[in-house]
Structure 1
Amino acid sequence: MDLSVSGKTLIVRPKNVNAEVTPKYVLSKEQIDFYKKNGFLVVKGLINFECLYTVKKRFLQIVNGLEDTGFMTIVKEPGLAEKGAKGQDVINKINDIHFDEEFSSYSEDPRLLDVVGQLIGDSITIVHCMFINKPAGTVRHPPHQDLWYFPFRPADKIVASWTAVDRVQRDNGCLFVLPGSHLTHTLVEHHYPTDSNKFLFYGVRDESSAPEEQRVHLTMDPGDTVFFHPLLIHGSGPNVSKRSRKAITCHYASGECEYVAVEGTVQETVAKEIESLAKVKKNLDLNFVDTWRYKNKLVRGTKSNL
């Protein structure tokens, strides 16, 4: 994939190294510098076909009722449900999949964790993981910052991975990013735009911070993976094609991160909503911090503050 940013093009491809070297997947200085400057980095073909097949098969088993959802939460696309869509054609995503053995083949993939470790440090905790289906007819995901949802800091010690399971193009709603926005914006106020899903699909209130002409659209082949900073403004377009846009994503935090109070900050809104959803969906009476403490998973290292 060729990414043009500020007139310069960076070609990112997997780098094979000796299997006895640790970490087993080594980012170049150019790649790390690109991530620090732009807030995202795409690595071509990082996740292999076997893993992609496993998670796609698991998604179909879950949505077709062949396996118990357990800890996972299935999220439907409201507009499609209202139109009578059924089966996987109405499923937007499955949340909290990182405790499932099959889905864990992605979130704990050694090469993936190698890259994550070089971006946030050797102690790695999974804080959120989901399989995204985005069926035909799904509305856009407005520009947003992932840190909006997280009551822990520092932001530089958090990173997301997002991997295409099927081919991702403009017509089926590929991701877009605002290069460098993680450096020019602190956490800003979010709200629910009128043209978006209202199940935690928040968007920045002032969309002038995400002008169309500055958006870089990430078309991706299966296995391609983008890593991005939690303050990076990003989103995705509507799926106007006749096929779904399957992807799998995971958020990781360093064990050095610590929980912070969000009372009196712009995050109060989302904190109250997540607490309410925990009560309704999981029958759990938890505060905002504890909703995250409840589901994190240490996958590298021996100690975490989370």
Structure 2
Amino acid sequence: MGKFRYTQDSGILTEKQRQFYEDNGYIVIKNNVSNVLLDNIRQRFLDICNGKVDTGFMTIMKDPSLIKHKHVKGEYLIHMVQNFLFDEVLSQYATDTAVTDVIASIIGSNVTAVQSMLFNKPPNSDPGASLHPLHQDLHYFPFRPAERMAASWTAMERVDESNGCLYVVPGSHKGDLHQHSYPNGFKKVLYHGVQNMEHLPKIHLVMEKGDTVFFHPLLLHGSGPNSTQGFRKAISCHFANSNCYFIDVKGTSQEYVSREIEILTAKQGFKLSFVDYWKSQCRLVRGAPGNLQVLDSHL
């Protein structure tokens, strides 16, 4: 094995940046995504909130602590848009070369987007509903190897501790995949967390609009609540090298999440296995296709 395990020799990251990612499991690239693209994405999100867009395969999630307030609507209620890889506007983030150039430097030149989320933390949410517990993204994915997967997370406005910025546990990507479960308090669907690890030293990532953090799927991370009267918007995608392979999660810590996803998709009218659910989310964004093939419905 060479000097670098988690990044690739050919790419735009400098040796210093690669070493930082190797040691810490993440790297922040300042001014990574243009304001023009982020402004278009923000307007698309507002149009979705206001019912002006056919959401198709996208999943729209509302803040569970605000649903009971009938006067709270739109941007003040919706906290996530998920599975937007086939939306004509939001998908431009997943194919943006500013993002995929860095991703290719980490996972290789054949890049498949496997998950997509636009996060919105509205004001006046219960803190327990607004935060995201400490977790590892690999918990949700039935493909490997982890070293050929990475996430991008871009601030759509300034994010800091007051409005719920990300925090990370540096170096935790070198550990194992931990058991995940629902935290106490508000139960947001699929917002699982790792318990009894909040004591670990964390770094809060204060970021400006357009800054992007790229990180390993085993990195322990989370975010705090929004305690301001403004919003906290961010857009994120997970990527995998197209030659990653699917695994059987039966008998592992991931069996729990696989059952939950299969139940949820069945309720939505799609009877899919855990693997086929993820195939339905995938979109090739760079290079040649591989094992992560999409279902016919998106061809």
Decide: shared fold, TM above 0.5: yes
- Cα displacement string for residues 13-68 of structure 1 (whole angstroms, at most 9, x for unaligned residues): xxxxxxxxx96xx2110001111110000000000111110100000011100111
Q: Look up the SS of the partner of 2:88 in the other structure.
A: coil
Q: Residue 82 of structure 1: SS of its match in structure 2?
A: coil
Question: Do structure 1's residue 51 and structure 2's residue 37 form an aligned pair?
Answer: yes
The number of residues matched between the two structures is 278
1:66 match: 52
Deviates more, 1:192-201 or 1:34-43: 192-201
Q: Which residue of 2 aligns with 1:16?
A: none
Question: Quick one: which of 232, 245, 250 aligns to 1:245?
Answer: 232
Shift of 1:83: 3.4
Output the aligned Cα RMSD. Answer: 1.2
1:1-306 equivalences under 5 Å are 26-84=12-70, 85-136=72-123, 137=125, 138-183=129-174, 185-205=175-195, 207-208=196-197, 210-211=198-199, 214-281=201-268, 283-306=269-292
Structure 1, unaligned runs of 5 or more: 1-21
- Counterpart of 2:215, as a letter, is F
Q: Deviations over 1:224-251 (max 9, x none)?
A: 0000100000000011111110000000
Question: How much does 1:259 deviate?
Answer: 0.3
The one-character-per-residue Cα deviations of 1:142-171 (angstroms, maximum 9, x if unpaired) are: 000000000000001110000000111111
Q: What is the alpha-carbon distance in structure 2 between the residues aligned to residue 121 and residue 216 of structure 1? A: 27
Deviation at residue 104 of structure 1 after TM alignment: 1.8
Q: How far apart in 1 are the matches of 2:49 and 2:231?
A: 14
Aligned AA (2:189): F
Q: In 2, Cα distance between the equivalents of 1:78 and 1:304?
A: 38
TM-score by length of 2: 0.90
Measured in 2, the distance between the counterparts of 1:135 and 1:200 equals 19
- Partners of 1:269 and 1:83 in 2: how far apart? 32
8 Å CA contact retained: 2:94, 2:237: yes
The separation in 2 between residues aligned to 1:192 and 1:103, in whole angstroms, is 29
Runs of 4 or more above 4 Å deviation? none
Whether the 8 Å CA contact 1:139–1:197 is kept in 2: the answer is: no
Distance of 2:267 and 2:272 partners within structure 1: 11
The SS at the match of 1:80 is coil
Separation (CA, whole Å) in 1 of partners of 2:288 and 2:146: 21
Q: Secondary structure at the match of 1:246?
A: strand
Give the partner amino acid of 2:204. H
How far is the alpha carbon of 1:269 from its aligned partner? 0.7
Cα distance in 1 for residues equivalent to 2:215 and 2:199: 19
CA distance in 1, matches of 2:138, 2:101: 22
